[in-house]
Structure 1
Amino acid sequence: MTKISIELVPHAAEEITSELSGIQAAFPKVNTVNIPDIVRLPTRSWEACGYCAPMLERDIPHLRACDFDLNQPQLISDIMEKYNFSEVLLVGGDIFEGREHFETTTTDFIKFFKEHYKTVKVYGAIDPYRSDFESEMSYVHEKIDAGIDGFFTQPFFDLGLLSKWIKALKDHTVYWGLSPVLSEKSQAYWEKRNLVNFPKNFEPNLEWNAQFAADAIQIIDQFNSCLYFMPIRIPVVDYLNAIIPKSKILKDLLS
């Protein structure tokens, strides 16, 4: 396995740096975070990355295409000039009523970055559940044709589906996502909001999710691919500590 990233919620400076300090105290080898842009929170992804940057080798902000007008790119220029990001993750972004948005497509956003920021690594998103395999793969190839350097996926909950995607993209840089779902309420949310089809043996508890993560890491490691953890309702350290006894691979990577 080549690289690991941890996804952190974009809290204000003191909160996010405290969380990162706790993670690094437990796992000193953690050197990469990616941070989503969550519109209900006051801290933007690039600001949160700015707080974390002095503590890390790599910090990757998510930028939402719908928030940027490519005909008036001053905001992008200001962000890149101030934070000097060497990597970005470009996503379409959900549109909310009453919030200004633009008709910028993800592929146009990728092309813009590849043209104007040639040294910046540009990642895109893969969602294995929002449509059928063929449709999502077609969208993936649109991003590849636009010049994408790699991908971050939404979390997987099915080993067969994960294997199918890994084999299809074995020649590309992909960070395969893992996230614990720890309650029936959260399971219902993932099913309704993200169209996840959980396997029949799924159980919304830490034991099942930790074992699934260990099994997924075994598959991912076989292809020397990348990995990222997206713990939402559990501290990162607790999630990783639940997986480590079941995964020598992760233990070796983090210890």
Structure 2
Amino acid sequence: MTKISIELVPHAAEEITCELKGIQEAFPKVNTVNIPDIVRLPTRSWEACGFCAPMLERDIPHLRACDFDLSKAQLLHDIMAEYKFDEVLLVGGDFFEGREHFDTSTVDFIKFFKTNYPDVKVYGAIDPYRADFETEMKYLKEKMAVGIDGFFTQPFFDLELLAKWIEALKDQVVYWGLSPVLSAKSQAYWEKRNLVNFPKDFVPELEWNAQFAADAIELIDKYNSCLYFMPIRIPVVDYLNAIIPKSKILGSLLR
């Protein structure tokens, strides 16, 4: 396996740096985080990455295409000038009432970055559940056509589906996502909001999620691919510590 990233919630400076310090104390080899831009929180993804940057080799902010008018791109240029990011993850972004949005497509956003910041690595998103395989793959090829450097996926919960996608994208740089779902309420949210079709044997408990993650890591490692963890509603250290007894691969990569 080549690289691992941890997704962190964009809290304010003291909270997110304290969390990252705890992760690094438990897992000294952690050197990369990716940080989403969560509209309901006051800290933007690029600000949170700025807090973490002194502690890391790599910090990757998520930037939402709908937040930027590419014909008046001063805000974007200001962000890149101040933070000097080497890598970014570009997503479409959801619209929220009462917030200004722009009709910037993700493909145009990628094209803009590759034109204006040719030395920056640009990642796009893969969602294996929002559409059928062929439709999502067509969308990915549009991103590839404008120079995307790699992808981060939404979390997988099905090994067969994961294997299908890994084989299809074995020549691409992909960070395969894993996230625990630990309650019936959370499972219902993923099914309704993210259209996830959980396998029949799925149980919303840490034991099932840890074993699935271990099995997924073994599969991902066979392709020497990349991995990222998105631990929602559980501390990062607790989630990873639940997986490590089941996965020698993960233990060797983190400690």
Say yes or no: TM over 0.5. yes
Mapped partners of 2:79, 2:89: distance in 1: 14
**Equivalence for 1:18:** 18
Post-superposition shift, 1:249? 0.5
**Equivalence for 1:203:** 203
Post-superposition shift, 1:98? 1.2
Post-superposition shift, 1:59? 0.1
Mapped partners of 1:142, 1:248: distance in 2: 37
Contiguous gaps of at least 5 residues in structure 1: none
- Where does 1:106-255 land on structure 2 (aligned, <5 Å)? 106-255=106-255
Mapped partners of 2:24, 2:229: distance in 1: 14
* TM-score, scaled to structure 1: 1.00
Query: Residue type of the partner of 1:192?
Result: K
Mapped partners of 2:254, 2:58: distance in 1: 16
**Equivalence for 1:76:** 76
Query: Residue type of the partner of 2:114?
Result: K
Query: Residue type of the partner of 1:180?
Result: P
Query: Residue type of the partner of 2:221?
Result: D
* SS of aligned partner of 1:123: strand
Query: Residue type of the partner of 2:29?
Result: K
Mapped partners of 1:138, 1:97: distance in 2: 30
* SS of aligned partner of 1:59: strand
Post-superposition shift, 1:7? 0.1
* SS of aligned partner of 1:104: coil
Q: Encode CA deviations 1:175-210: one digit per residue, 9 max, x unaligned.
A: 000000000000000000000000000000000000
Query: Residue type of the partner of 1:96?
Result: F
Mapped partners of 1:97, 1:242: distance in 2: 39
* Identical-pair percentage: 82
**Equivalence for 2:85:** 85
Mapped partners of 1:133, 1:118: distance in 2: 30
Q: Encode CA deviations 1:104-132: one digit per residue, 9 max, x unaligned.
A: 00000000000000100000000000000
Mapped partners of 2:198, 2:40: distance in 1: 28
* SS of aligned partner of 1:202: coil
Q: Where has structure 1 moved over 4 Å in runs of 4 or more?
A: none
Post-superposition shift, 1:97? 1.2
Post-superposition shift, 1:146? 1.1
Mapped partners of 1:63, 1:117: distance in 2: 14
Query: Residue type of the partner of 1:175?
Result: Y
Query: Residue type of the partner of 1:38?
Result: I
Tell me the matched-pair count: 255
Alignment RMSD, CA only? 0.3
Post-superposition shift, 1:137? 0.5
Mapped partners of 2:35, 2:90: distance in 1: 11
* SS of aligned partner of 2:122: strand
**Equivalence for 2:47:** 47
**Equivalence for 2:100:** 100
Mapped partners of 1:138, 1:99: distance in 2: 30
Contiguous gaps of at least 5 residues in structure 2: none
Query: Residue type of the partner of 1:2?
Result: T
Mapped partners of 1:237, 1:150: distance in 2: 27
Query: Residue type of the partner of 1:82?
Result: E
